[in-house]
Amino acid sequence: MLIIKIQYDIILLLIIKLILNYRRGIFMEKPYQENKILSVEEIKEFWSKTYSKEGKPDWSHIFPFYDENIFFHDSIQKIHGKENFVAMCDRLAKRCKSLNMDLYHIIKNDNVVMMDWKMTMSFRFFPKKPIFGCTRLTFNEEGLIIEQRDYYDLWGDIYDGIPFFRRFYRWFMRVFFG
């Protein structure tokens, strides 16, 4: 009889907890927004699916992890809003003949994730060219990416493939910044 009463009390407490959580709005409709930030393993899994060695990238499966007010910033552009971010990704996919990304390290500290990578792109008239860089993802309280900052030396990696410019660029960087 005592065991039945204890089980009844546990079930009653669980029902009360469910009702209170529902009233507080803890249940969310979108996936992976259970007030948690993606784990390092989840980030590696989802971002690795984005790029293919055979063809064009597909970002559609990671767009749900971005906040509507995403701020994206890299060496070329600054973009505000998810709609503009999606459009930028679509433009890059259309421009590239192929695009592949190898993730090397992913580090997470509170709501910030850093990852370093090698991105290999090929355009219609140019051979494949690797660009090395890193990305900082900042998550908001809902577990969505609110800011993405990509760091890379676009010109250095491009000029390394052009014999005359490679020497001049590396000399210029060494003399004035090194």
H helix or E strand, kind and range, residue 169: helix 163-177
What pTM was computed for the model? 0.71
Are the CB atoms for 66 and 139 separated by under 8 Å?
A: no
H helix or E strand, kind and range, residue 103: strand 96-109
Confidence of residue 15 (pLDDT cuts 50, 70, 90): low
Candidate ranges 20-34, 37-51, 134-148; pick with highest mean pLDDT: 134-148
Q: From 47, 41, 44, select the one nearest 59 (Cα to Cα).
A: 47
Give 65's contacts (C-beta < 8 A, 6+ positions apart). Answer: 32, 38, 46, 144, 145
Task: State whether residue 164 is helix, strand or coil.
Answer: helix
| Predicted confidence (pLDDT) at residue 35 exceeds the cutoff of 50 | no
For range 1-13, the mean pLDDT: 55
For range 116-138, the mean pLDDT: 84
Pairwise CA distance, residues 30 & 111, whole Å: 19
Instruction: Give residue 76's pLDDT.
Output: 87
Instruction: Give residue 147's pLDDT.
Output: 98
| Predicted confidence (pLDDT) at residue 77 exceeds the cutoff of 80 | yes
Asked which of 22-31, 87-96, 153-162 is least confident by mean pLDDT, the reply is 22-31
CA distances from 107 to 8, 70, 111, 150 (A): 45, 21, 11, 15
For range 73-78, the mean pLDDT: 92
Taking phi over 0 as left and psi of -120 to 50 as alpha, with beta for the rest, 35 belongs to: left
More confident residue, 105 or 1: 105
CA distances from 8 to 20, 22, 103 (A): 18, 21, 50
Pairwise CA distance, residues 139 & 62, whole Å: 14
Residue 131 carries which side chain, given as an amino acid letter? Answer: I
Q: Which one-letter DSSP state was computed for residue 53?
A: S
